[in-house]
Structure 1
Amino acid sequence: MPTTTPNLGLKKPLGNEIVSRQAYNENLDLLDQNVTEYKREIEDLPRQSITLSHGLNAVNAPRASLLKPKFTGRTLVNLLGKDGNCEDVGKWLNVDGSSFALDPAIKMFGTNSIKVSSTVTGVFAVKTVSKYNVAAGKYYLLGGWAKNIDCAGANGVKLIAVKGSDGITGIKSGPSVSIGTSFVFTYAKLSPADIGSETTIHAYLQGHSTVMGQNFNFDGLCLYEITQAEYDALATMTDAQIAAKYPYVDSVQVVQNPAAKASSSYLYLQTPLYEGETLEEIDGQWVRTKKREKKVLDGSLTWLLLNMNTTGYKVVLVKNLAQAMNYTSINCVKYDGKIIPPLGILTEADAAHFNYLSGYKDFYISISNTDSGWGENYIPTADEIKAYFYGWKMYYEGGTPYDGYNGTGTKRWAYHAASGWTAGTNTLPTGPAPSDCDWKRYELHYQLATPVTEVVPHEGELRVHEGLNQVEVFEGVVVRELASPVNTGTTTHINSTNTSPSSLLKNKTFKILDLFKNNKSDISSWIIYSDTSYINGKERIYTASENFDPTAQYSVTYIALPEEFTAPCPDFQAELTVNLKTTVDSLVDELANVATDVTALEMALRNRGLLKKNLYANISNSVISAIPNDTWTKVIADLVSVNTGLNISNGVLIITKPGRYIISSHIAFANNAIGARGADLRLNGTGLVFNVVTATTNFVTNILLHGVANLKVGDSISLYIYQNSGSALNLNYANINITKVSGD
């Protein structure tokens, strides 16, 4: 009975056996089959393209690979502005028998929802004070969240789009919301046939009570213009899918800082991404195809008054603000979140455009006298216009900010806070109103006349292992924002409204991901709080003061509150490698790009006289050695290719100068498909960088390690490796590469 070879299963006749033609042909078939498999591994095959969606994705990878996404942008323009955030009852009117108030106890977004109570039996309702523009031939989605507390009428609670022309006639309503314990997303979809000749609509919430005193809450209302294709797709989507695709956002939001996680890896990118834009890795750099840009319209700009005979408003402008595509290619947001429409001729307050006579470079905007305080016949100076855009309203001494200024009396300026108007000042303000001002900056989003590309900062790299992976797509990650911890004596706080404004992060937090002390993770020393007290957003963080180092630099990586910061990522394509050649080619490209970046940085620093000669060494094994089975074994790296000043003893690198070092290693095991392979770079005998992989089928198994560490004199770096193939296995190659990058 012939034996077989361990790898290919070829038949080996015994000495007393006659080789048959059948056995010979079977061996040839096995050889041909395996050659085909080997050939496929070294062919130049295209990368596999997959679609990733917002949230969790299952990715089945044919082998361990880098995952290369190509993000696409999205812009959400909530035509309700901030009226739907339900933080201001002044934005709503009682229509039928109802009373309403803010409810901080029951909410979906922000700090409040609005609770509506019936004062009659039957229909009771509220509607928006404002009317919102709609256009003939367009499609819209009016959506929001409602919680039916106890409205027992047959129709429960409904969200309705009503005509702006009469303020009461319904155009389209969403499905009834029944009594329940949680908020339910409800929506009304509007077609051109539904809108007809109407040019504006109200959002209208209607309850149906069986007795007086029944209630419902609502929160997070939005009105989006959508395409016909999006309108048609609504019929195939669940309510949950519609809510996820069209979430509530304040005013105008774009995809901000797209991100992804896969296995133990992550990728955070720091850039906005508008509708029609892409973001992908090209030659080792993440490149955004930029078609739109955002500008803050504040008092730092050179504002001028346009001499026009207007009633109730004034037109101001900034020359050469930008080079826009055309006058309509803008989304302008007022201080209160209202969407300001583009108009060719500014015949009303709250309109804007890029002027075509300037080649779409000069920006014009109309401001109501009620907002600015400028009287009908008063001509404001350039500095007074700047003060308005810094958040200040003009009036006369002895009057109130509601009275404005008509050119007589002493001028005063005040700003509006949550508690009302401030006492004011007689001195013309030359800077922003204090941080408690609730009039936020005007913002302008406009289309560039010519698209450009720009390199964006990023952190991390995505990788997947062979087999099934879970890949999460999200957005809104702010990476390593510098923090200002406030020490209150026994505890130290970040992002706490109860300590000091200086502790607050720039954006409201949704989730805190990590905290760094001098660029090293220190999150384990801090406690994250997600209660509702003293938080700028949803989470704050604190520690015992003995853990706080006032001389250290602290930074925080966090996800910002989405409704105030970002739109959700749309679906996008990603690529992964499918065979050994494309995997190796990808790794080679990555290493070449890293080397290019490092040498370019070195050259820039050297040209500025900032680059010192840093320590560098590369040691490797000089002979192929057998590694015992199931035993962590120290590698004796005895071949020194480069050494600019570190000590080397018995395959161990000894640090001679303190500093920050980059440490890497490449290990190649002989071909064997059984078991696992591991590698461990150790600092003073303790694991620093560690990885274990499944043995590669029909080829050598490679492991790459990479780490960064702050090292002191006398620290040692060594390499240990592992395999459990069942017997001793050759180590073809191993090296340790170390470079000092900072420190004296």
Structure 2
Amino acid sequence: MATNTKNYNLIKPDADDFYDVNQFNQNADIIDTQLKNNADSIKAILTNDLTALPPIEATLNSGENTLTTEHDSTARVTAFEGDTIVNYVPLFDSGVWGFSSDFVVNSPSKVTLTVSDGANHGHYVVFPVKANSDYTFNVKHNANIAIYKVDGTPIQNYTSDQVITFNTGTETSIRIYFRNPNLTNGTFTFEEPMLNEGTEQKPFVANVQGITNPTIENTTTGDSITLLGTFHKGDVVSEDKGQYTVERAKREVVLDRNLSCSLLNNFSGFKRIKITGLSSNAISVIGVKYNGTILNNVDTSANVDGVQIYQNDLLISISNTDSGWGTNYSPTPEEIMAYFLGWVMDTVGQAYPSPYNGMGTKEWIKRRADGGIDSASATTTLPTTKNELIPSYRLLYNLASPVKEQVQAINSVLKLTKGDNALQVSEGRIVREVVKPYYDEGTKTSYINARNTSLASAGWTSVWTDNIKQVYADGEPVEWYIGHEVNNGVPYSYAAIELKVDETTQISVDYEPLYQFEVTAPLNNITIEYQSNLASVVNQNVEDIVQLKEDVAVIERDMVRKGEEIEWFTPTMLNGAVREGATSCIYGKDKMGTVFVKMRFIHGSDTQATAVARLPVGFRPSSIIGRSCIVANDGSSFYGYIRSTGEIFVNPTALKGKTLDINLSFKAEL
């Protein structure tokens, strides 16, 4: 008896059956039809995969996204726009609020009021505003808030509402009130105070924030891409052949370096300072003081804590109380710079504050982040270094003409795998921040960000973090123990390793800030582009290879050109190091200020960090640099370093008598 095949249902006659031509023809038709279907399917697949199709764009929202692809591929960021959010009230721990003893500051963004006597307990602070302007104030609370004029007339009386929208009328300052509900006992909290211009409620940030370090992480593959920098409203990021650029509409400047500044005017209670060289191509500016107070773009001859641009110069008005400059005292440019570095002037032997008026001996004291001073820091020597206890002044310019700049990225492309990809979009991650580990002699351990009070603060990250993600040594990932602790109720993350880190090794970290609002505005979305089929993936890979070859060719041509233009010099060898050949150890500098060091020499010492040569002034880096180099004898590696003082040295030890190759390039010190 005949049976049928499993896959195509062909008739299989039994051994005893007679031949039936109809069964043969039926089987032939089935085979013919299936072969044709298979051929058509293969043709369709080949046509789809071997014909390059346009790439696919996908817009990713902040947070979790799922992207499904048909092939392994790579994605690039093709569109991203920055944003700027301004909060006109500072954080609670800034010292500006001056809370009474009824209030406890729990964190930079939270205070608690406790009432037990059945009376009303409140507090208000005066903040500057623009006249005839709309503002929105919002704070998370379970009590009452109010907005008043400075004369005590209500603009918005006490309310349990979380958001108040109002117009300032003729007022240039307002009072913001916090209070318990009328005659009510209990514990009341106020969190994330936000005062922004306009009638739309903005997300909570500290002072002025753009979007910092937007990141896409593919948690499926472990791959990620981060665009480095802060991007403000009007800044547009684009990509071309793997290189990211931004067309900037705004520029941020930090006043933490030597400035060309001078006293312009001495007004009643405050002084107006002029800074040159910072305001070209700028049409307006706002600023942020060390305590988070916003410097409005106003007439600086009539307003304290104002900032403006006048004839390409930057003007800032500073109160005498804030600076420590007496009413009739004219500070020198160097003393003005000391103020911007975080120091307040005072008079020796008198109770603080005693602004210096030209009589007696002047001194400088470090300000603290909470508005107080660090009395132990008092010095009669004019400070020239930054006070690390407080942030620097920051300025944000609106540019008259957009400026195009390159954007550095940690990985220029994002790897995608066939199937579902879990993409996490975030902002504010701090990447490759250089830190100086603290070494504890007792435990023989180096620490990063150990914020318990028994250890020094040298290893702290710049902002508080409870999530250290990776530690790097000279740019390479290394394994450190990552721990988690709590300090005064605030969680933090630290890294530790049981050894003393060589001072010549640069240690850096990636981490997530605990308080995102201190470093970034929230990101809305970011657009990526990826290849849609196999042919497109292959074509993209070929284009990347061609672009890489072109880049290498340009670099080689530039090196040849620079080699022809550079005047080469021979350094004096030190500590027993001997050059191998008359021209084997040379250095020079091109017209762009890049220094090239090429050395082949026999090392003469086994002492760690012994200098083998020294570069003269004008040929030195601004800070220590190091690169992996090759031992010519056996091909093993070592590190070659150049200090800012010009000494060239190597690590590790046990290199005496070996032939070493060092090839380094860097920008010369200014």
The two structures have a TM-score, normalised by structure 2, of 0.72
In the alignment, structure 1 residue 284 sits paired with structure 2 residue 259: no
Distance, in Å, in 2 between the alignment partners of 1:190 and 1:137 is 11
Native 8 Å contact 2:223 2:415 kept in 1: yes
1:316-465 aligned within 5 A: 316-326=273-283, 329-344=284-299, 346-355=301-310, 358=311, 361-417=312-368, 420=373, 422=375, 427=380, 429-432=382-385, 434-436=387-389, 438=390, 440-460=391-411, 461-465=413-417
Match of 1:728 in 2: none
The residue number in structure 2 matching 1:77 is: 86
Q: What SS does the corresponding residue of 2:388 show, helix, strand or coil?
A: coil
Gaps of 5+ in 1: 7-12, 147-155, 177-186, 235-244, 614-654, 661-739
**2:567 aligns to what?**
none
1:473 is aligned to 2:425: yes
- SS at 2:543's partner residue? helix
1:130-145 equivalent positions in 2, closer than 5 A:
130-136=126-132, 138=134, 140-145=135-140
Query: 1:164 aligned to 2:136?
Result: no
The one-letter code of the counterpart of 2:252 is K
Alignment pair present for 1:268 and 2:226: yes
Q: How does 1:606-625 map to 2 (within 5 A)?
A: 607=562
Deviation of 1:366 after TM superposition, in Å, equals 1.2
Separation in 1 of the partners of 2:190 and 2:36?
Answer: 74
SS in 2 for 1:68: strand
1:225 matched to which residue of 2?
Answer: 197
> Which residue among 509, 521, 538 is the counterpart of 2:477?
521
CA distance in 2, matches of 1:425, 1:554: 32
| Cα distance change on mapping 1:63 and 1:142 into 2, 3 Å | farther
Distance 2:467 2:542 in 1: 36
Report the aligned-residue RMSD. Answer: 3.9
Q: Which amino acid aligns with 1:246?
A: P
Bigger mean CA deviation after superposition, 276-285 or 16-25: 16-25
Which amino acid in structure 1 is aligned with residue 471 of structure 2?
A: L
Q: Determine helix, strand or coil for the equivalent of 1:583.
A: helix
CA contact (8 A) 1:72 1:570 kept: no
**Structure 1 counterpart of 2:203, which letter?**
Y
What is the distance in 2 between the residues matched to 1:279 and 1:741?
A: 37
Asked if residue 259 in structure 1 is aligned to residue 237 in structure 2, the reply is no
SS of the residue 1:57 aligns to:
strand
Q: Does 1:49 align with 2:57?
A: yes
The whole-number CA distance in structure 1 between the counterparts of 2:556 and 2:598 is 7
Match of 2:522 among 549, 562, 568: 568
- Paired letter, 1:78: N
The match for 1:118 among 108, 115, 119 is 115
Cα contact 2:449–2:494 (8 A) shared by 1: yes
Q: CA deviation at 1:78?
A: 1.0
Q: Percent identical across equivalent pairs?
A: 25
Q: Is the 2:287–2:396 Cα contact (8 Å) retained in structure 1?
A: yes
Q: CA deviation at 1:446?
A: 0.6
SS at match of 2:492: coil
Cα separation, 1, equivalents of 2:552 and 2:396? 36
Does 1:504 pair with 2:450? Answer: no
Question: Cα offset for 1:302?
Answer: 1.4
Counterpart residue number, 2:269: 312
Deviations 1:269-302 (A, max 9, x none): 2211111112233212121222222222246111
Is 1:100 the counterpart of 2:102? The answer is: yes
CA displacement at 1:208 relative to structure 2: 2.5
Shift of 1:204: 2.6
Shift of 1:312: 1.9
Equivalent residue letter for 2:543: D
Please name the residue that 2:572 is paired with. Answer: none
> 1:142–1:161: 8 Å Cα contact kept in structure 2?
no
Q: Is the 8 A contact 1:303 1:386 kept in 2?
A: yes
Structure 2 counterpart of 1:216: 188
Change in CA separation of 1:205 and 1:430 when aligned onto 2, cut-off 3 Å: closer
1:558 equivalent in alignment to 2:511: yes
Q: Map of 1:720-731 to 2, 5 A cutoff?
A: none
- Structure 1 residues 367 and 575: alpha-carbon distance in aligned structure 2, compared to 1, 3 A threshold: same
CA distance in 2, matches of 1:43, 1:200: 66
Match of 1:17 among 19, 25, 36: 25
Instruction: Tell me the equivalent position of 1:649.
Output: none
Superposed CA deviations along residues 593-630 of structure 1, whole A, max 9, x for unmatched, are 344444545555665676899xxxxxxxxxxxxxxxxx
Could you tell me whether the CA contact under 8 Å between 1:496 and 1:534 is conserved in 2?
no
SS state of the match for residue 536, structure 2? helix
The one-letter code sitting in structure 1 at the alignment partner of 2:126 is: S
What do residues 517-575 of structure 1 show as CA deviations (whole Å, max 9, x unaligned)? 4544323x41322422699x8322123338x6777543322223423222222222222
* Contact map agreement 1:312 1:369 (CA 8 A) in 2: yes
How far 1:477 sits from its partner (Å)?
2.7
| Conserved 8 A contact 1:324-1:448 | yes
Offset of residue 40 of structure 1: 3.1
- The residue number in structure 2 matching 1:586 is 540
Is the Cα–Cα contact under 8 Å of residues 163 and 198 in structure 1 kept in the other structure? no
Following superposition, the deviation at residue 442 of structure 1 comes to 1.6
1:657 counterpart residue number: 635
- 1:400-443 deviations in Å (ceiling 9; x for gaps): 3423133333333333336635267673514136434x4x4221
* 8 Å contact kept, 1:527–1:542: yes
User: 1:383, 1:40 → 2: CA distance?
Assistant: 69
Pairs within 5 Å for 1:622-701: 657-659=635-637
Give the distance between the partners of 1:397 and 1:450, measured in 2 at CA.
Answer: 49
Aligned counterparts of 2:69 and 2:111: Cα–Cα separation in 1: 48
- Cα distance change on mapping 1:469 and 1:366 into 2, 3 Å: same
> What's the CA shift string for 1:170-229, capped at 9, x where partnerless?
5287756xxxxxxxxxx305265xx566554333333227764x2223233121224x6x
1:485 and 1:401 map into 2 onto residues whose CA distance is 35
Query: 1 CA distance for matches of 2:132 and 2:535?
Result: 56
1:590 aligned counterpart, secondary structure = helix
Structure 1 residues 553 and 332: alpha-carbon distance in aligned structure 2, compared to 1, 3 A threshold: closer
Do residues 201 (structure 1) and 169 (structure 2) align? no
After superposition, where does 1:292-307 map in structure 2 within 5 Å?
292-298=250-256, 300-307=258-265
**For residues 414 and 663 of structure 2, what CA distance do their matches in structure 1 show?**
27
Supply the AA of the counterpart residue of 1:571: N
Which of 20, 40, 46 is residue 38 of structure 1 equivalent to?
Answer: 46
Taking structure 1 as the reference length, the TM-score comes to 0.65
Deviation at 1:502, TM superposition (A): 2.9
Distance in 1, Cα, partners of 2:6 & 2:548: 46
What's the offset of the Cα at 1:339?
Answer: 0.4
Count of aligned residue pairs for this structure pair = 552
Structural mapping, 1:528-539, within 5 Å: 528-532=483-487, 538-539=492-493
Distance 1:117 1:580 in 2: 65
1:692 counterpart residue number: none
Q: Which segment drifts farther, 380-389 or 467-476? A: 380-389
Paired AA for residue 388 in structure 1: Y
